[in-house]
Amino acid sequence: MARSARARGAVRASGRRHLRKRRLATIAAGRDRGVIVASFTADWYAARAAGVVAYLLLSSSVALGLLLAGKERLDRWPRFALEDVHRFAGLLAGWFIALHVLAIGIDSQAHIGLAEMIVPFSAHYRPLWTGLGIVAAELLVALAISNHYRKQLSHLVWRRLHYLNFGVWLAATAHGLGAGTDSGSGWLLMLYAASTTTVAALAVRRFARHERASSRPRRPEAAGLESAKT
Q: What is the DSSP string of 45-95?
A: HHHHHHHHHHHHHHHHHHHHHHHHHTT---SSS-HHHHHHHHHHHHHHHHH
pLDDT given for residue 147 in this prediction: 87
- Phi then psi for residue 161, to 5 deg, are -65, -35
Instruction: State the sign of the Cα–Cα–Cα–Cα dihedral 142, 145, 72, 77.
Output: positive
Distance CA 141, CA 178 (A): 22
- Going by pLDDT thresholds of 50, 70 and 90, the confidence category of residue 58 is very high
Lowest mean pLDDT among 23-37, 71-85, 90-104: 23-37
**Does the predicted model carry a pTM greater than 0.85?**
no
pLDDT value at position 31? 45
Distance between CA atoms of 70 and 114, rounded to whole angstroms? 40
Q: What pLDDT shows up at residue 207?
A: 81
Q: Is the pLDDT of residue 38 over 50?
A: no
